[in-house]
Each structure stands twice: as C-alpha cells, then as structure tokens.
Amino acid sequence: MVNIAVLGYGTVGSGVVEVINTNGARINQRIGDELNVKYVLDLRDFPGDPIQDKVVHEFDTIVKDPDVQIVVEVMGGIEPAYTFVKRSLQAGKSVATSNKALVAKHGAELLSIARDHNINFLFEASVGGGIPIIRPLNSSMTADEIEEITGILNGTTNYMMSKMFYEGADYNAVLKEAQDNGFAERNPEADVEGYDACRKIAILSSLISGQQVDFEDIYTEGITKITSEDMMYAKEMGMTIKLLASSRRDGDHLHAIVAPHLLGRDHPLFNVNGVFNAIFVHGNVLGDAMFYGSGAGKLPTASAVVSDVVDEAKHLHRNIMTMWKSEKTELLPIEDTKKRYFVRIGGEADVMKAYLESKFGPIEVVEVEGLEGEFGFTTGVLSEGEYKRIAKEFPTIKGMIRIQE
Amino acid sequence: MVNIAVLGYGTVGSGVVEVINTNGARINQRIGDELNVKYVLDLRDFPGDPIQDKVVHEFDTIVKDPDVQIVVEVMGGIEPAYTFVKRSLQAGKSVATSNKALVAKHGAELLSIARDHNINFLFEASVGGGIPIIRPLNSSMTADEIEEITGILNGTTNYMMSKMFYEGADYNAVLKEAQDNGFAERNPEADVEGYDACRKIAILSSLISGQQVDFEDIYTEGITKITSEDMMYAKEMGMTIKLLASSRRDGDHLHAIVAPHLLGRDHPLFNVNGVFNAIFVHGNVLGDAMFYGSGAGKLPTASAVVSDVVDEAKHLHRNIMTMWKSEKTELLPIEDTKKRYFVRIGGEADVMKAYLESKFGPIEVVEVEGLEGEFGFTTGVLSEGEYKRIAKEFPTIKGMIRIQE
C-alpha cells in the first residue's frame, strides 16, 4: 500500500480525492500497488464527508508518520506550503504540488532536496492545469534544444480576450461577466495584470534553461489596456489578440515576456479560445508542437496532480525529474527584444504616413471603418528600445501591441 | 559510453545520426553518459559520409557485439525488421523504432520480450511523428480513463483535405500536386485509402485498452470519394472535412474507425491544416486535451526516435513501458456506432423533405448555390446500421459523410 496525505481540502484537494475514488482501480493497476489517502490536512472539519475520519489539523501528524510516502500540496500560496513541502521532502516523502507560486519561487531548492533524498518533487499541475507539459518537457523532448515556449497560460484572460474578439464586447463588461460566471476573481489583478501567467512562464523558462528564472525579472504587461477598438483593428488585419507568456532562447540567454500580442491565423495558438490553455513549443529538430487542454478547473488540475502521484508511487526511491540550478539565468532586457509592432495613432494616415516612415521605416497602414480621427499601422522588425525611442516623438500614439510571428 | 546501432540509413536513419550530432552535448548531459553511434546497418556503402566507417552489412555484427546496448530500427516494413528487433531484444538490447507496421502487428509480443529482459521497446515516432503522444499516454495521463482518442494521423491526406477545403481544388488535381511536391507517394494507396492512419490508431487503441487491437479489424475508409462538392457543403455548414482515425471506449469494448468526417469550428482538430498531425484525447477527469505537431519529416521523426533512445539510455536495465496483452480487444461492429450523418442526394429538397423525415426522423436541409438537382441534409443521431437500412430506400443518395461531435 502507498499512503498519501493531502494538504488542503479545497477545490483541487477534494478533486484529488475524487479522482482517486473514481479511477482507483485503474490507478492501482498502473502503480502495481494500492493507493490510499491516509490523511487530509485542513483547518476545518468535514462532518458527513467520506474523508471526515482522515482529517487532521496538525501537519506534524503527517510528517512524523513513516507510513506516509507521498504528500500532495494543494493549499496554494507560499506559506505554510513552503515549510510543509520542505519538511516533507526532508523527511523522505515525495511531494506533488499544483502550487505555481511555490514552484516559481522555491523550485530549484525543492528539486535539489528531492534529489538529495532520492525522492521526487513533481508539479505538472502548476502550469497549464491538466495539460501534460512539464513531463513532456522533462522526458519527451529530450532530443531537442527548446528554442521557444509560448503559452496561453491563463484561462480567465483568454476567456475575456475571446469574448472581446468574437462578440466585440468592452473590457469592463467582459470582466464583469467573467466575475459573474466565476471565471474571474472579485479582485482580478493576478489574472488581468499577467501575474499568474508570469509565474507559469518563469517555471517553464527555468526548466528549459536549466537555471532559475525569477518571475520578478520577467517583463509583464496585462490586458487592462486592451480595448474593443484594438480588437477591431486586429480583425481588420485577420489577426487576434491574446495574452501570451513567452520565452525564447538567444544564445545562452533568454528573452521572456508576458504581454498581449497580435497573432495571425496561421499560428497554432490563434484558435485557442475560452478558458482553454495551450502551450506552443519550438524545438531545433522537432520543429513546432503544441499542447492544448483545460488550464484550470477542479478535475483537470486534480488529474495532473494524481498523474504526478502515480509517477512518484512508481518511483518511490528513484529521482526522475530534471533539476534546474539555483543560479539565475540572465534575461535579456526587454529593450533588446526584436519584434514588429502595431501602433494606434491619432491623425490622418495620408498626411502622416511619409513622416512616420521617415522615422519607423516602411509601415503598413490599417484603417477601420467607423474609427475616425485615428488609424493604425504595423512597423517592420525593430528592437523594443528603438521603437520606444522613436515613439516618443509622436505624442498622438494611443497604444502599441506587439506582433507574435 | 552508451553504444547504439542504427538499422537503416534512409531518411529517418540519417536524421537520427544528424540529431545526435547536432544536439549531442545536450543529449549526453540528459543521459549522464556519452551516446555513441557504433554501427549503421545498410545494404549500401556511403563513401564520403562521416558514418562511412560505421557501416556494416551484416546484422550479426550488431547483435553479437555486447557493447551495443540500444538498437534503433528505422528500416520500415515487417521483415527483416521484425526478426532484427526480436533478436536484438532477446540479446538484451533495448530497441527504439519508428516502424508503425511492426508495432501494430507485433507490438504485444515485442513489449513482452522487452519486459522479460528488463529492457525497453519504445516507439514514440510510430504515431504522430515528432508529436509526443505515446509517452504522455504511458506516463502523463495515468490518473484518467481515456474515453476517446481521435487523430489526424496522416499528413499527406490532411494536406490534400486542407487544399480541397481552402482552395476548392479537385481531388485528382490535389493528389497530383501532393505527388509533385513529394508529400504523396507515386502509389498513394497507403495514405489515401487510410491504411497508414489505421495502423497508427490500432497502436493507440492497443495502448489505451491494454489489449491487442488488430488493424485488420478496424473499419477503414479513405478519402478517395471526397469531392470538391462535398467541401462546398461543408463550408455552407461552417464545417470542414478531415480524415479522422478514432477510438472510443464503450464499456469494455472499443469503437474504432478510420474515415473522413465533418468537423465543426469548435472542435480542436478543425484548424489542423497542411501536413500537420494532431491527436485529440478525452479523459474522464482530464477532459479534452490535444497534441499538435509535425506528423512526419526527417528531423521531427528522428527527434522522437532519439527521445526514446535517451529514455532507454537512462533506463538501461529497467522496463518503463506499459504493456498491452496479446489477447484481442473486441471492437464493436461499425453498424452499432451512433452518429449524425450528412447525406447528399439527387432531387429537390422541398419535394423530398417530408418523405425523408418520415424515414430518417428530423433532418436539416443544406443547399449550396450552384449545385443543381441535388441537396444535402444532416440526420439526427442514428446507429450506422439504421442509417444503412434506411439509405437503401433512396437510390439517388450520392454519398454520406459521418459527423464528428
């Protein structure tokens, strides 16, 4: 029998118990042993719930019980999750977590403790919910240099962007609707400002570079400035706007960014709509690949957590996860990133085009019927530093959106 | 040092050598040892090629060399591949193969020999080329019951279907163009008749059911009867037509089919175009997921083969692949499959609709401007047996295409 303890009986924690109950026979067959939930740690009691007898309020009960081989951390947040996970690993118990904040901040250290104890620290559910991405990067794409990972990693903002694109809805109306439907929090900052996506791309960046990428170092811009007019321009160009979290290799360094981007119809991420997530990966020999699925939700997230538990149960005394080192990967300054830009500007295109081209180089003008006194244009490839330097000379610029190639 | 031998120096074989040369440093780091191509087996010599000194013409040289730990079989076809792979495994050498015909026919036996010898028989490249799908099914989606796998598993036919859909081109013209571009063989039967996709879905079906699914038992219908008129109807309905290979669980049994299907815009496979492949998976707790990428091509396929080699080098004396048993899974007869159908029929809709509905139940009529003397309609959900029984009464039916929900 393999005994596990679940830390936190919220949405994901109860999902983990539900998945194990639903698919237990099949899971046991895959492990070759019986998986048993021995404890559930929560401050609350759950009278009447089938797990009521397993509820404990003291973490010590779990960490001191030598029968517990795997700890599932689904509490979220840094503390007490960090302390509990660290103590579990130090006690020789493998840990599976869905906690992106914890992995982004302390992943290198926790992976290293797991390796020293010949156990595992796995976190498939921390990025992309139910989508298998951490394990494929760790054990499938091992013949490649991963040159780019670009993801739609936040379901809330993707739901909002999709609504704005397909229904022409306004940002505030869409946010309110998302809140009413339970897709967005009352305080939506973590989603709409890009903080959630930023932690996830920090984890993926650390994995592909083999060194720590601090989320604080990643340039992060949310979707709060995207308007229905921006979507009209996007449609006119046959493109859409998505909040992308992206990491590109440039020699030994990485360019990493979280920001809204314009995407063309041919990009595999173009059609990822609603609350779905997807992760595009480019390998130097594999070429393009994409992984798509439910980026959040009780059961999809629990499915990923339990797949980690299965892997840990099959490898109780064998470390299987690639480490990343605690030394930091140097991120290149955002000013050095080269892209094309879409710019909205007040004025008349035929009057201003020649002067704009004298500064930006060749541009393509985009005009939308019904939008008076302004127009849009796309630039050629420029570094972001160059763009900003030139843009300063044009006080009527209303906004800029980067173009993803 | 981990020594490997490559059987066959054709497109994929030379790709494997190229991938190892290109990414060798990174690959060795992942293995924690040096990977060395010791032999290349081919009937030909390759004077001037960097591997010329490694070429051998006798398989015995390889199988009798105790230094060879991993054999890469990329010859294709059943013989002599089957004999060479079996002898390699019996000699305690792990095998990585891209050979779908071999895996579909002898997978159960070869997996069993590998397990008996505590080595590995891996075949990531046999389905979906560079797309990681075998390993995710084996080690990521382990918390789920996989209820459906539906794939676009053949790049040639997907290229043709995409051209017919987006350019209104005729089947024969598109086939000729695909042949001229090297996307289709001079004898295109294996692709256009669905035989290639059939072997691949047989492998996936065996994996998810844990028992042998014989490709000969899978109902297989190619794309040769799809016309530009069919595509006009599809467009009118806001759908597209794709050659799908699909396996759905129904209790302990499976429904498996390879056939052209109509797909709506909301289906994740709708936008998989050109030579790309994609595999849609539905798990009972995971929900929907999709894996997308290059389904063929020298380097993507070689990337998948080398990822298997890396896994085998990391697990030289430890079997890691889930088996499937040689007992056959019972496939349900195609007549029992329930779907909606799109039917093209000669005649006038307003005259015939009431009588059609008296037989088929409620239908939705589809008419396309420019197509005279015929119309289309979609039925409600019927078993295929029922559909066929009713359709017999309508001699002017020109064709039927299944609808994928």
Average pLDDT of every residue of chain A:
96
Q: What is the CA radius of gyration of chain A?
A: 23
Query: CA dihedral in degrees (B71, B77, B82, B85; nearest 10)?
Result: 0
pLDDT in tens, A33-49: 999 999 999 999 999 99
Question: Do the chains contact at A288 and B293, CB–CB below 8 Å?
Answer: yes
Q: Is B91 near chain A, with CB under 8 Å? A: no
Q: Are residues B279 and B142 in the same domain?
A: yes
Residues, chain B, total?
Answer: 405
**What is the share, in percent, of chain A residues with pLDDT greater than 70?**
100
Question: Do the chains contact at A132 and B140, CB–CB below 8 Å?
Answer: yes
Note if A200 is an active site residue: yes
Question: Do the chains contact at A130 and B289, CB–CB below 8 Å?
Answer: yes
Burial class (CB in 10 A: 0-12, 13-18, 19+), A60: exposed
pLDDT band at B251 (very low <50, low <70, confident <90, very high): confident
Question: Do the chains contact at A300 and B285, CB–CB below 8 Å?
Answer: yes
Q: In this structure, what CATH number is given to the domain that contains residue B221? A: 3.30.360.10
Q: Are residues A288 and A341 in the same domain?
A: no
In a domain, A368, yes or no: yes
- pLDDT exceeds 90 at position A296: no
Q: Are residues A269 and A359 in the same domain?
A: no
Q: In this structure, what CATH number is given to the domain that contains residue B45? A: 3.40.50.720
- pLDDT for A244 equals 98
Chain B CB contacts of A141 under 8 Å are 132, 303, 307
Q: Mean pLDDT over residues B376-394, rounded?
A: 97
ipTM of the complex: 0.94
Q: Name the domain boundary from A307, A327, A347.
A: A327
Question: Cβ(B68)–Cβ(B1) under 8 Å?
Answer: no
pLDDT in tens, B203-234: 999 999 999 999 999 999 999 999 999 999 99
- pLDDT exceeds 90 at position A117: yes
Q: Name the domain boundary from B274, B293, B312.
A: B293
- pLDDT exceeds 90 at position B322: no
Best probe of the A interface among B139, B270, B282, by most A CBs < 10 A, is B139
CA A179 to chain centroid: 20
Q: Which of A145, A299, A322 sits opposite B285 (nearest CB)?
A: A299
* Nearest Cα residue to A393 out of A352, A335, A365: A352
- pLDDT for A36 equals 98
Q: Which residues of A15-49 are buried (b: 16+ CB within 10 A; e: fewer)?
A: bbbebbebbeebbbebbeeebebbbbbbeeeeeee
Q: Is B294 near chain A, with CB under 8 Å? A: yes
In a domain, A233, yes or no: yes
In a domain, B329, yes or no: no
Best probe of the A interface among B134, B142, B305, B324, by most A CBs < 10 A, is B142
A293 - beta bridge partners? A277, B289
pLDDT in tens, B93-122: 999 999 999 999 999 999 999 999 999 999
- pLDDT exceeds 90 at position A181: no
Q: Which of A22, A142, A289 sits opposite B285 (nearest CB)?
A: A22
Question: Cβ(A291)–Cβ(A167) under 8 Å?
Answer: no
- pLDDT exceeds 90 at position B44: yes
Q: Are residues A64 and A165 in the same domain?
A: no
Q: Are residues A228 and A363 in the same domain?
A: no
If one counts the domains in chain A, the total is 3
Q: Is B140 near chain A, with CB under 8 Å? A: yes
Q: Mean pLDDT over residues A364-382, rounded?
A: 97
Q: What stretch of H or E contains A111? A: helix A100-116
Q: Are residues B23 and B104 in the same domain?
A: yes
Q: Which of A135, A291, A304 sits opposite B139 (nearest CB)?
A: A135
In a domain, B377, yes or no: yes
Q: Encoding tokens for residue B160?
A: 């043709």
* Nearest Cα residue to B39 out of B106, B86, B93: B93
Q: Give how far A319 is from chain B: nearest CA, Å.
A: 12
In a domain, A136, yes or no: no
In a domain, A134, yes or no: no
pTM of the predicted model as reported, rounded to 2 decimal places: 0.94
Q: Is B88 near chain A, with CB under 8 Å? A: no
- pLDDT for A183 equals 85
- pLDDT exceeds 90 at position B301: yes
Q: Is A300 helix (H, G, I), strand (E, B) or coil?
A: helix
Q: Are residues B153 and B103 in the same domain?
A: no
Q: In this structure, what CATH number is given to the domain that contains residue A399? A: 3.30.70.260
Q: Give how far B131 is from chain A: nearest CA, Å.
A: 7
Q: Are residues B305 and B391 in the same domain?
A: no
In a domain, A135, yes or no: no
Nearest chain B residue to A315, by CA: B320
**Torsion-angle region of residue A51: left (phi > 0), alpha (psi -120 to 50) or beta?**
alpha
**What is the share, in percent, of chain B residues with pLDDT greater than 90?**
94
Q: Are residues B140 and B273 in the same domain?
A: yes
- In which domain, by residue range, is A375 found? 336-404
- pLDDT exceeds 90 at position B188: yes
- Show Cβ contacts of residue A288 under 8 Å, excluding neighbours closer than 6 positions: A268, A280, A281, A282, B293, B294
Q: Are residues B398 and B316 in the same domain?
A: no
Best probe of the A interface among B303, B309, B316, by most A CBs < 10 A, is B303
- pLDDT for B17 equals 98
Q: Which of A132, A140, A145 sits opposite B23 (nearest CB)?
A: A145
- Number of neighbouring beta carbons within 10 Å of residue A393: 11
Question: Do the chains contact at B289 and A132, CB–CB below 8 Å?
Answer: yes
Best probe of the B interface among A137, A138, A142, A148, by most B CBs < 10 A, is A142
Q: Are residues B339 and B392 in the same domain?
A: yes
Q: Are residues A284 and A209 in the same domain?
A: yes
Q: Is A285 near chain B, with CB under 8 Å? A: yes
Question: Do the chains contact at A136 and B136, CB–CB below 8 Å?
Answer: yes
pLDDT in tens, B114-162: 999 999 999 999 999 999 999 999 999 999 999 999 999 999 999 999 9
Query: CA dihedral in degrees (B266, B269, B273, B279; nearest 10)?
Result: 160
Question: Do the chains contact at B285 and A291, CB–CB below 8 Å?
Answer: no
- pLDDT exceeds 90 at position B76: yes
Q: Is A124 near chain B, with CB under 8 Å? A: yes
Half-sphere exposure of B299 (CA within 13 A, CB side): 16
DSSP B225-284: T--HHHHHHHHHTTEEEEEEEEEEEETTEEEEEEEEEEEETTSTTTT--TTEEEEEEEET
In a domain, B328, yes or no: no
Q: Mean pLDDT over residues B162-183, rounded?
A: 93
- pLDDT for B198 equals 98
- pLDDT for A295 equals 87
